[in-house]
Amino acid sequence: MNIDVNSQLQKHSIFRVGEVYSVNGREVCIKVDKNKNLSHLLYKGNVIKNVSVGSYLKILKGFICLVAKVESETIKENYSVNVDYHNKNEEISRLLIIKLIGYFENKEYHKGVKELPLIGNECLLMDNEEFSLIHKFAKDGELTLQLGHLMTDNNVPIEIGINKLFSSHIGIFGNTGSGKSYTLANIYKKLFEKIGNNNKFKDNAKFLLFDFNGEYSGKNVITNNKKVYKLTTRTDNGDKIPLKKEDLLTPQILYILSSATEKTQQPFIQRTLNLYSHIHKDKKDEQEVLNHFKNFFTIQLKSIFSLHDAQKTRQLLNYASNILYEDTHNDIEKGLVADLELYSNGNFKIKGSENDFITDKNIDSKFESLHIKEVLDNYNFSPDFIKNLISFLYLEIITDVLQNTASNEHIIPAINKLKGVMLYFSKVFEISESDDFWDGNNLVVIDLNMVRTDIKKLIPLLLSSKLYNEQKEKKESELSKSLNIIIDEAHNVLSYESMRESESWKDFRLETFEEIIKEGRKFGVFLTIASQRPSDISATIISQLHNYFIHRLINNKDLEMIEKAVSYLDRLSVESLPILPVGACVLSGVIADLPIIIQVDKLDNMHRPQSDNINLLESWIDDDNTELNDKEYYGEK
């Protein structure tokens, strides 16, 4: 008993740092004891690191143990000492400025301020058990992943609860070369290693990774059980993402593809889909659909001949030409109406005749002998579904202009945008009835490295919107199925500053992802974003993330954005961001009771993302140059 008491008293005297000097809200000032100004202490033969900036301390207030973090330290001169009788050490007092972050209760650490200390309360260093408690981010028995260790102490592993991490939105930020890609790969690799062989995991968990630079498409990166789509817009030989016709016939997808504005173009697209549905309704086969299409088209063409407005007539016949001819640059007077003369008043006369005009009364009989009727009779749907869809758009705009329900100047930009996109659409998508997008896997990597910039932005938006809407429509019994969308180089998709696109398109793009990040968790959809330029990303999106892995950031705009948007960071963590070593990051968020700096575990060469810098000297120096081939020249010692 006496030995135990003596041991406790000895420990208390060695671990004591000082006492509370002043209290100003969460900020507390500690006056350090004179004999505790060394960098290290000895306890039972072990060297203990003494208090310094960044350390954790405990304050004893009766039976309550408060936890604080040292943010800064200073000295204060004591002018009240006797000039003749004093020790030199008494002239200066060392003061620590600390911030309260939590408390211990029932041998567990809790985040938050329960009570404030009193002046004179003792302040002590933490022992190993207490230090481990504040870095324990999972309950006993909870399934965890070990992501790395505390940067300042290799003996303190950092384990994080799987459920808490992956049922949240995650942000991974850091400049080029800071280890951002490794962290992303590490997190998901360890998840697949830990529970990837469970059948319920394979059935209920889906992961979609958008890889802008081709870093994660390697065979063993994250897992070898994945489907990789290596897309390219340079040739027709790349992989193609399967889509069903029904996917393209949804308003949201067509809005995305055509960059449709809300007031005019989106209602037009909805009317086109209604027309498509009307013409296909209750039809047994493709021939019946084609006949209905031709009959409807014939009615519109006859109305065009009865317009008596030359300018509008030319315009609408040009739209009709886009439907009936492959060559959309075909001159209508040499093509569709090659057998007619169009007068300035909008009237048509049969070529070679003196007075054979087309009138409202004879249009039905005359139309049967016109060249345009012959072209229409020979018309067939294209095997390319997209071209047929564009034909329906032209048919709808003809109908709208004839009925004065839309202005073609407002609608045509959406059709032209869609036509422009479709030039590359068939290079990266294929219309398939099977739509086996996952191909039996629960991780799909979309490699966008060889895709042109505008399509790069479109694909993540289109697929994310499609899968998110599918997830929303699932019944309550199916909500056990989750979808994690992972976007590497997310500033390419989530940027609010882009000169290449219209404001309406930018708003639509951001609103889509903002809805996912605000409402997605209700439907089992979670977002992981990685970026080297967080300042380019919408502040709404960054502030809605739950957990953050923040690597080295140097740019002031990025630092300001992180400081404003991430409420979990303290001043010390923000100030450490520009000087973090490679692979180290600040972990903060709902998963961590306090922001900490961790060193993420290294990956084997075979599991690394392809993001390493090239070694220039290896390609510059000849193999037989023994003098320069010393490894020191390669930065290796």
Model confidence pLDDT, tens digit, residues 409-453: 889 988 988 888 888 888 999 888 776 899 899 999 999 999 998
Q: Residue 629's pLDDT is what?
A: 64
pLDDT for residue 502 is more than 80: no
Q: Give the SS3 label for residue 345.
A: coil
Q: How confident is the model at residue 419, as a pLDDT?
A: 86
What is the residue whose two structure tokens read 């697929």? 463
Each residue's pLDDT tens digit, 322-373 = 898 876 555 565 677 777 888 888 788 888 787 888 888 888 888 888 888 8
pLDDT tens for each residue of 131-180: 888 888 888 888 999 999 988 888 888 999 999 999 999 999 999 889 99
Instruction: Say if residue 64's pLDDT is above 70.
Output: yes
Q: Looking at 14-23, 79-88, 460-469, which range is the least confident one?
A: 79-88
Region 223-235: mean pLDDT is: 93
Q: What's the mean pLDDT when you consider all of the chain? A: 86
CB-based contact 425:248 (threshold 8 Å): no
Q: How many CB atoms lie within 10 A of CB 37?
A: 12
**What residue type is assigned to position 626 of the chain?**
T
Tell me the domain boundaries of the chain: 5-135, 159-238+435-619, 248-426
Q: Determine the distance from the C-alpha atom of residue 520 to the mean position of all C-alpha atoms in its chain, rounded to a whole number.
A: 13
- For residue 80, give both structure tokens: 């009240």
- Structural tokens at position 365: 């009989």
- Residue 152 to residue 137: CA distance in whole angstroms: 17
Instruction: With a cut of 60, say whether residue 3 has pLDDT above it.
Output: no
**Residue 58: its pLDDT value, please?**
93
Is the pLDDT score of 634 beyond 50?
no
| Ramachandran quadrant class, 10 (left: phi over 0; alpha: psi -120 to 50; beta: rest) | alpha
Question: Which CATH code for domain 159-238+435-619?
Answer: 3.40.50.300
pLDDT score at 499: 55
- Rounded CA separation 268/259 (Å): 13
Check whether 312 has a pLDDT greater than 60. yes
Does residue 89 have a pLDDT over 60? no
pLDDT greater than 90 at residue 77: no
Write out the E strands in 320-364: 340-342, 348-350, 357-358
Residue holding tokens 């890609």?
A: 181
The 10s digit of each residue's pLDDT in 256-284 is 888 888 888 889 999 999 999 999 988 77
CB of 268 within 8 A of CB of 255? Answer: no
